[in-house]
A and B are shown apart, each in its own frame.
Chain A
């Protein structure tokens, strides 16, 4: 933070400060006090972490007080933003007293490293940017149809055969680096291993995992979602998620469950047979739920909480009580939030914040104007909306354009999720956001 505040001064080169002006009060120290008996410096941030802080700026010493280290990090970011430079290169800060805490506990960014590989540097730069914007969750959508860059210790073939190329992978060391870099900034890393759909790349390194599609009684050679009727599938998932549970320290794992295309299942005679035996009729949503429930149980047995995309809830799978449902479908998402929270599940809102949907002009305004609690529901229900995520899907994004596309647009989401409900003035936000953008530069 010292470098952020004082390192980038350009004005130093242009002017000399007048000799007389040494009389003003000086701030010589920022004291940081963390009150909890266990400040949390050696642990991982989690959904219940305390991010509140109290900042008092007076001479000669400013005091930043927080219950846990996570609040101190947030306060340090704020403090760094209070420091400004005058025309002579002097650094100034106004006397202030700030009492701050986030409105929502889950404030995330989704990065997609399957549609395009993202080099480590790109991910780390964005973790920095997230910290500048008080985001505290990196939702790492690490694998999908197009590529499988996650190097698994138990199943090395997955990335050997599924990554775009052998050097476009995340080794265990890479993953540890991301997790630690994030932790030091108070950011949770929630990995998403999306199944049973979005898994084409898994099939390259894991034979018989995906459902073979049929046409006219013959296999076509192409594959569909994960095959839900084989025991080997669940043996694989059990072993795979055991590894994931130990590699990723966060209490939650995102299990996906979105956009499952039933046509391949429908074409497969063995699957059809299974449907009959289970009495599912022709309702493949039941088969999807059957699969997902087994995965949820597996992950549960490793003591991990689960986050899933809304379809899993919509198709009426049986979920454990604290399962987090991520609402992403833009059509009538307020209604969905009511349903999810009405059923007693925590929800995370992504629907209005798909930042990969670029358009001409100042679209940050529409992200800023979203009010997450604008849905019909009781006080209890509203409490179940634990936060939201700005998503940057990777179909058209890689390291060449990620940073300018994400920032500062995601900052609008960051403020909406941290600040109070009544902080809505667009002109004021514009002024502060343009300033913040220059600061991020």
Chain B
């Protein structure tokens, strides 16, 4: 009796029961991710309403398995009922400031799944480069990518990402940010961007998309028709942030238009004009949309089911105020402001990300219900494949837990213990996640 191992009879099977699988479909905002996991003597049962919950439960199950000194794998008897607090838990990757090879994106999707993230916000193009190979407008990437042969995402690449994500219960929401952040669109779409003027002469530089030309809207319609068919998710992210009005203001034709429309000097009205038309176009293509907060701040007319993405946080407007304003106006909100993981600093900054309470703003319960989740953003100005993984993980794990777990789960010491152990788990799975603090893992990272 003394020498008997402490373990019960070995389990050889994990039974997975899904009531309405939907294995061939795509995950969406309303997907059910709840699951139940029962580990008892002689049987392990994972049950979920939909396949998406089973995936989450499988991840949890994989984290419950331990190994003793003799090498025996074991699992404690347990009963878990789990479901996410927020339905939209995303990671933003920026493939314009730096191209990210396919394997980097796929690896990120893997680690997102380990962290129960379920949205990949693909900020695919921007000012510096246009790596998206468009079938309708092949010149866009041919002229706009850093290198049209090596630094592009072909249609096949995009399909690969979407399917790889789907198999992990991750939605892919592409962002084609306009009218600002579009410099790389210019070379491949002559006439799209506004020519800037200096003392009545074109200066040779360009600004945001030209909102006064019909050709602009023809182009936008065709491009978004393609994007709508390529990306299966109901939502598209349309950007709309940081539109610099100086170029518009310098262009005589635009000034004339402003006069005609009676906009005075208020270029926000011109921006709204563009955005409204864009939203109509995208709507008519059967898609819903997410926009950065400026679109709401600048009083653009948007559909009631628009999702406003809150990203700013400054002395003039703290993000909590914005969250209150957005939800008070009746719109759904996504929070990213405190989760700009590209903003690195010395020390354990994951704690700041973890301490965020998304619903900590002035508002009634109906407002709070409009917060659908948040996103950890990894903007690419200083990030490429050489440092993406250690910079994203395990820091993004703090955001993941904040978005999945109950609001009462906030003990820092406990979180540190679990996150540092999880980091070692990530290392064991081949992920180059950086350390939280001093210490070591059983399986240290060693370059291959």
Q: How far is the CA of A351 from the CA of B329 in the complex (A)?
A: 52
Given contacts A168-B440, A358-B346, contact A404 B386 (CB under 8 A): yes
Q: Is B342 an interface residue (CB 8 A)?
A: yes
Q: Are A398 and B445 in contact (CB under 8 A)?
A: yes
* Distance (whole angstroms) from the CB of B312 to the closest CB of chain A: 16
Chief secondary structure at chain B's binding surface:
loop
Closest to A398 in B: B435
* Distance (whole angstroms) from the CB of A105 to the closest CB of chain B: 30
Given contacts A119-B444, A119-B446, contact A401 B434 (CB under 8 A): yes
Stretch at the interface among A233-241, A276-284, A389-397: A389-397
Say which residue of B345, B386, B391, B438 sits within 8 Å of A441 (CB atoms): B386
Q: Are A164 and B346 in contact (CB under 8 A)?
A: no
Task: Write out the residue numbers on chain A whose beta carbons fall within 8 Å of the beta carbon of B436.
Answer: 396
Q: Is A422 an interface residue (CB 8 A)?
A: no
Closest to B448 in A: A121
Closest to A168 in B: B440
Interface 0/1 of A376-400, CB less than 8 Å to B: 0000000000000000001111111
Task: For the complex, count residues of A whose C-beta is within 8 A of B.
Answer: 32
Interface 0/1 of B336-352, CB less than 8 Å to A: 00000011111110000
Interface 0/1 of A105-129, CB less than 8 Å to B: 0000000000111010110010000
Chief secondary structure at chain A's binding surface:
loop
Task: Write out the residue numbers on chain B whose beta carbons fall within 8 Å of the beta carbon of A362.
Answer: 382
Task: Write out the residue numbers on chain A whose beta carbons fall within 8 Å of the beta carbon of B343.
Answer: 360
Q: How far is the CA of A441 from the CA of B386 in the complex (A)?
A: 9
Q: Are A396 and B347 in contact (CB under 8 A)?
A: yes
Q: Are A400 and B346 in contact (CB under 8 A)?
A: no
Task: Write out the residue numbers on chain A whose beta carbons fall within 8 Å of the beta carbon of B367.
Answer: none
Q: How many A-B residue pairs have CB under 8 A?
A: 81
Closest to A361 in B: B382
Q: How far is the CA of A401 from the CA of B395 in the complex (A)?
A: 13
Say which residue of A14, A359, A396, A441 sits within 8 Å of B434 (CB atoms): A396
Interface 0/1 of B341-365, CB less than 8 Å to A: 0111111100000000000000000
Q: Are A404 and B446 in contact (CB under 8 A)?
A: no
Q: Is B210 an interface residue (CB 8 A)?
A: no
Task: Write out the residue numbers on chain B whose beta carbons fall within 8 Å of the beta carbon of A119.
Answer: 444-447
Q: Are B444 and A395 in contact (CB under 8 A)?
A: no
Say which residue of A168, A356, A399 sits within 8 Å of B445 (CB atoms): A399
Q: Are B346 and A356 in contact (CB under 8 A)?
A: yes
B residues touching A (Cβ–Cβ < 8 Å)? 149, 342-348, 382, 386-387, 389-391, 427, 432-440, 442, 444-447
Nearest 4 Cβ contacts at the A-B interface: A404-B387, A401-B390, A164-B440, A401-B434
A residues touching B (Cβ–Cβ < 8 Å)? 14, 115-117, 119, 121-122, 125, 146-147, 164-165, 168, 356-362, 394-401, 403-405, 441
A and B contact pairs by CB, cutoff 8 A, 30 listed: A115-B438, A117-B440, A119-B447, A121-B447, A125-B447, A146-B438, A164-B440, A165-B442, A168-B444, A357-B346, A358-B345, A358-B346, A359-B344, A359-B345, A360-B343, A362-B382, A394-B438, A395-B438, A396-B347, A396-B434, A398-B435, A398-B444, A399-B446, A400-B427, A400-B432, A401-B387, A401-B390, A401-B432, A404-B390, A405-B387
